[in-house]
Amino acid sequence: MHSTHSVSRRHRCRSDRGEGVISTAIAVLVMAFLGAAMWITFNAIWQDTSENTENQVKVIGSDTDTQPSSDD
């Protein structure tokens, strides 16, 4: 009876082998996708902000006759 118990115990340990590695790999992939999504979002926001800043610098640097009036 003792040998049957140790065989099932070894079988159970073998079936769980690699579970930590698989879980870690999934976590790494999830973090990589999140990082890529964050980078794409950051890059889009940066481009938009850069364009807006460039437009405002052009407006500030242009003649006062071409600036929109604030009397509206």
The pTM (predicted TM-score) of the whole model is 0.53
pLDDT tens, N- to C-terminus, the chain (72 residues): 555 555 566 555 567 777 889 999 999 999 999 999 999 999 999 999 999 999 999 999 887 655 566 655
Q: Which residues of 40-65 are buried (b: 16+ CB within 10 A; e: fewer)?
A: eeeeeeeeeeeeeeeeeeeeeeeeee
